[in-house]
Structure 1
Amino acid sequence: MTDRKILLIGTAAAIGVLAGGALFLTMRPGDDQFAQCSSSSVAGGMDAFGTPFTLTRDDGQRVTDQDVFDKPTLLYFGYTFCPDVCPLDSARNAEAEALLTEAGEDVQTVFVTVDPRRDTPKVLADYTELFSDRMIGLTGSDEEIAAVNKGWRNYFKLNDEEDQEYYLVDHMTNTYLVMPGGKTVEFFSRETTPEQIAETVACYADASA
């Protein structure tokens, strides 16, 4: 297959607002154990994505990245007040997880807030419960959330200059596949279907077995 570049632009969660930041993609060389699972990778490699962290889970417990990524995980950054994009993406990810569970794969979904001021553990627990009992919500201090978003190159911006209560947040909308141990191996755009995600995740899970 010939090399090509794809420009992936994360859309904003706020209606009509385009999130800043874009990922330039190139074809993945077939030189690793996951080569057969995906035809694309981020320029510079997926190894550049991810960071160690300690955050607060939706049950109030402090957890590390090693605690969280103990199985193949669909990782998404959003916020519970999001009017449209986040619920749709969360539902899509939960559907992919359900397809994988039905196929016998042990996977999970994780929702990291970009709005820790409003997204307390209780708020996150109520939100994630709407989509899947296997979806984990994570929050933290402003500094912790900024650091984990930076680790996954996730742009976000709170539009709270005039309204401190009902503001919207611009953010990218990629979903990342993180394998046990915290290695990020793949990402999915908003256009990827649950079936496509499930097929890709199953390939990675089988290749790592």
Structure 2
Amino acid sequence: MNKIFGFFIVFFLLVSSLGIGLWVSGEFNMPGDRPSSKSTVIVGGPQLGGPFELVNHKGETVTDEDFRGKLMLVFFGYTNCPDVCPTEMQTISLAMQALGDDADEVVPIFVTVDPARDTVDVMADFVSAFDPSLIGLTGTDAQIDKIKDEYRVYGEKGEGEDQDYYLVNHTSFTYLMGRDGKLVTVFSYGTPAEDMAAKIREQI
């Protein structure tokens, strides 16, 4: 029941915040759901993405301005995620490999929605398991809440669960941002790596 309720909350927030200009051909996935082979494509100019200041997995403070001039692949999740997050990070890693030399024009970014547990050291261990270009970002609760608002991301700790061992319900889209920091396209969870790479290559 909580899973179904969470789905409708996120769907409502996403649709209401993006407004006119959003065309969806895909589906929302929560942890444990079967992946979709479709992607969500943005048409028009929804206001999604924006300024942020966070800490990367090396302990360095970074802002959105540090990534200007590059395409960004942004995914929001958490390191204790049992399936969706590691699966999508593997997909992004395969997409980066498929890009070959063009991968230098793309920065894959993993933003935690669980900053209480995802410290700099934890993030460093997590991203080391995937493509070496992957950047993990964490921060204070306020900093994470701000970037979640900018990207219209849903992320909430499961109710009634252990304070140390818990799941976090969260949006499972991967955002492709342009060199100017503006949204280009959104991929739903389960989009094949080759499809992701093909769409990214269109922007290079």
TM interval, shorter chain, is 0.7 to 0.9
The answer to whether structure 1 residue 12 and structure 2 residue 30 are counterparts is yes
Counterpart in the other structure of 1:84: 83
The answer to whether structure 1 residue 179 and structure 2 residue 178 are counterparts is yes
Q: Which moved more, 1:64-73 or 1:164-173?
A: 64-73
- In the TM superposition, 1:179-198 aligns within 5 A as 179-198=178-197
TM-score of the superposed pair, with normalisation by structure 1: 0.78
The Cα shift of 1:103 comes to 5.1
- In the TM superposition, 1:193-208 aligns within 5 A as 193-205=192-204
**In 2, are the aligned partners of 1:124 and 1:138 still within 8 Å (CA)?**
yes
Amino acid paired to 2:91: R
Counterpart in the other structure of 2:15: none
Instruction: Show structure 1 runs of 5+ residues with no match.
Output: 17-24, 26-39
Counterpart in the other structure of 1:95: 94
Residues 104 and 111 of structure 1: is their aligned pair in 2 closer, same or farther, counting only changes over 3 Å? Answer: closer
**In 2, are the aligned partners of 1:69 and 1:178 still within 8 Å (CA)?**
no
The answer to whether structure 1 residue 116 and structure 2 residue 134 are counterparts is no
CA distance in 2 between partners of 1:57 and 1:100 (Å): 24
Amino acid paired to 1:41: I
**In 2, are the aligned partners of 1:110 and 1:137 still within 8 Å (CA)?**
yes
Residues 5 and 203 of structure 1: is their aligned pair in 2 closer, same or farther, counting only changes over 3 Å? Answer: closer
**In 2, are the aligned partners of 1:105 and 1:202 still within 8 Å (CA)?**
no
**In 2, are the aligned partners of 1:97 and 1:108 still within 8 Å (CA)?**
no
In terms of fraction of residues, the more strand-rich structure is 1
Instruction: Show structure 2 runs of 5+ residues with no match.
Output: 1-21, 34-39
Count the aligned residue pairs.
178
TM-score of the superposed pair, with normalisation by structure 2: 0.80
CA distance in 1 between partners of 2:45 and 2:168 (Å): 26
Counterpart in the other structure of 1:74: 73
Counterpart in the other structure of 1:150: 149
CA distance in 2 between partners of 1:92 and 1:194 (Å): 5
CA distance in 2 between partners of 1:194 and 1:117 (Å): 31
Determine what percentage of the aligned residue pairs are the same residue: 38
Q: CA RMSD in A?
A: 2.2
Residues 103 and 62 of structure 1: is their aligned pair in 2 closer, same or farther, counting only changes over 3 Å? Answer: closer
Moved over 3 A (4+): 4-9, 102-105
In terms of fraction of residues, the more helix-rich structure is 2
